[in-house]
Amino acid sequence: MVAKEAHTPGPWAVFPYYYERGDGEEHRLIGLGQFDTIADVRMGSDDVPGDLEANACLIAAAPELLEALEGLLPDFTGGLDPTEPECVVKARAAIAKARGEA
């Protein structure tokens, strides 16, 4: 059984945002809508072009990734082999991290 979500349910989306101060600072807002923001990702001075969009898209996909991982995990556990494959160990760790349990 999957635990109750403690995060804002998805789907989340990425919205471009530019400050209007004239400094051209570029951001991507992640949320349910442009005015319902969950995260604000901005371009850092050390970031490679494309990192901003890639990071924002990865964050926006988090609810679906967590749901998919939780759905797949039962298919890879409970077999006759008492040792868990490395992918199952990593999946459990990622789920715990997403839930704030790691």
pLDDT string in tens for the chain (102-residue length): 455 567 888 899 998 876 555 556 678 888 987 678 898 888 766 777 788 889 999 999 999 999 999 998 888 877 666 788 888 889 999 999 999 998
Under 8 Å between Cβ of 95 and 87: no
What is the b/e burial string over 61-76, where b = at least 16 CB atoms within 10 angstroms of the residue's CB?
bbbeebeeebeebeee
Round to whole Å and give the CA distance between 77 and 100. Answer: 22
What's the DSSP call for residue 77? S
User: How far, in Å, are 24, 25, 32 from residue 35 at the CA level?
Assistant: 20, 19, 8
User: What letter represents residue 2's amino acid?
Assistant: V
pTM comes to 0.77
pLDDT at residue 1, as a whole number: 42
